[in-house]
Amino acid sequence: MYSKELIYNYIIGNDIDNIEDLENDNNFLFEVLKKSKDITYYNYLDIAFRRNLTVIKYMFLNFKDSFEIYKNDVDYLLQTLDKESSEYLELIILVSNISDNYKMIREALYSIDKIEIGAVQNSSKETEEEIGLGFAVIQSKYEDSNIILDYYAKNFLYEIFYKDKNIEEIIHKNIKNKDKLNRVGNTKYLLDYIESLDSYLKDYLESHLYLLDKVFKDLDLIKINWDNYLNRINSRKVNIVYQEVNRFIEEECGRFYFEPFSVIDRIVVNNHLEEIFGLDEEVVLNISLKEDEYLKEKFTYDMTKLIKELFKDDIITNDNSDYDISEGKIIEYKKK
């Protein structure tokens, strides 16, 4: 409608025919605003033109740091829009990324939609299996709004990998070999994992990969610290074993005549865990002292069960060790 040359000449102050008409043309001034990135042109727009969702969405996406300039127009729209409309939710999502005052409204609207998802999931077993986490419900309801779909997709990712969860633990639990993960690739691995929970969410993320940026970065950190993670959890498991040995010695003091640590050595070797426990493969396991067979057998059974249970998976839940970000720990995800 307006040539680039005309807009450029206006911005730099060249002589233009019918300039008064142009300066009364809101569409022209809005194009000047967009091309110049000069927010002062916003004040030249008629108030009725400014209070348009398209204009306000543009301002949010391009002038977040100047929110106070168009805040009154945002508040006006929030008061006049239908509270159940997708336009209202879009605006709430945008403004809550800038001002904390609107986050409670955003969270309330999200909770309402989650209740709706639950109702659909509970309608039948077949439906529950089909829609998984329920992103299909969101797509059906807000199919014309990328702002809403992106926001919900991010929330679903948060609930999959971070809410009351440890993403590092999730990754190690689902794939045991870093080389295999590298062969598969971050993108395919994450999309395949997400697909196992919700195929509709996977399809959406496949065409909007930027939404996975946070998870990609965390996965790279996990791979960098792959061996470190295994060493940490194995060290904790070994400590648990020896804590239990010491507990047994204290509780059964004077009631046994075998050497508990020798029994542990034998169990460790039988389960091929010498390297993890730091044992010499040639360690002598013969017990020379007189043994109380009952307590020895019970102790052997209990400790064998404990060690096998501990080392059947490369995971320890609720890892409270002092593993910090400088060593690659995944930082806590926070919703904006």
pLDDT average, residue stretch 188-200:
95
For residue 243, what pLDDT is reported? 93
Residue 325 belongs to a domain: no
Answer yes or no: is pLDDT of 45 > 90.
yes
Among 86-90, 124-128, 287-291, 321-325, the range of highest mean pLDDT = 86-90
Torsion of CA 255, 260, 266, 270, to 10 degrees: 80
For residues 138 and 126, give the distance between their C-alpha atoms in angstroms, rounded to a whole number.
18
Residue 42 shares a structural domain with residue 82 = yes
Residue 197 shares a structural domain with residue 239 = no
Residue 336 belongs to a domain: no
User: Hey, how many other C-beta atoms are within 10 angstroms of the C-beta on 98?
Assistant: 16
Across the chain, mean pLDDT equals: 85
Residue 73 belongs to a domain: yes
Q: Which of 195, 224, 253 is the last residue in one of the domains?
A: 224
For residues 156 and 150, give the distance between their C-alpha atoms in angstroms, rounded to a whole number.
10
Asked if 192 and 246 touch (Cβ cutoff 8 Å), the reply is no
pLDDT tens-digit readout, 78-96: 999 999 999 999 999 999 9
Asked if 110 and 155 touch (Cβ cutoff 8 Å), the reply is yes
For residues 43 and 83, give the distance between their C-alpha atoms in angstroms, rounded to a whole number.
28
pLDDT band for 44, please (50, 70, 90 cuts): very high
Going from the C-alpha of 232 to that of each of 92, 165, 204, the distances in angstroms are 43, 18, 36
Asked if 39 and 73 touch (Cβ cutoff 8 Å), the reply is no
Q: Which residue has the higher pLDDT, 53 or 101?
A: 53
Report how many domains make up the chain: 3
pLDDT tens-digit readout, 217-235: 999 999 998 888 888 888 8
Q: Domain range spanning residue 179?
A: 132-224
User: Hey, how many other C-beta atoms are within 10 angstroms of the C-beta on 162?
Assistant: 19
